[in-house]
Amino acid sequence: MADICSKCGLPKDICVCSTISKEQQKIKVHRELRKWRRPVTVIEGIEDKNIDLEKLCQQMKALCACGGTTKSNQIILQGDHRDKTKQLLVKLGFPKRNIEIS
Ligand SMILES: [Zn+2]
């Protein structure tokens, strides 16, 4: 028997709950200046339980060839990687319009 989604009761392979939640999430990507005016890219607002923040952070670090960490619901990358992180989020299925870059 297929796994049943606890949210909608449909088999998981046809369930769209994770798609819907991606549609609903507003992700903010912004640049902050830390110590010694070093820029960091902060990604926040990812609340999808299907997304492993730790794993996503690894992907972003590999993509941007930079260091980074997760902190509560944020991913913090060293350096200014706003464009690249947005591209990756879009690739993962987050709608462009829901990603706010500042
Ligand atoms: Zn579902």
**Pick from 101, 92, 102, 74: nearest CA to 23:** 92
* Predicted structure pTM score: 0.80
Helix axes of 53-64 and 82-91: crossing angle, nearest 10 degrees: 130
Fold of 25-101: Translation Initiation Factor Eif1 (3.30.780)
Q: What's the 21 CA to ligand 1 centre distance in angstroms?
A: 10
For the segment 66-90, what is each residue's pLDDT rounded down to a tens digit? 999 999 889 999 999 999 999 999 9
4 CA → ligand 1 middle, Å: 8
- Tell me the CA–centroid distance for residue 1 and ligand 1, in Å: 16
CA of 39 to the centre of ligand 1 (A): 39
Q: How far is the CA of 15 from the centre of ligand 1 (A)?
A: 4
Q: What pLDDT was estimated at residue 1? A: 60
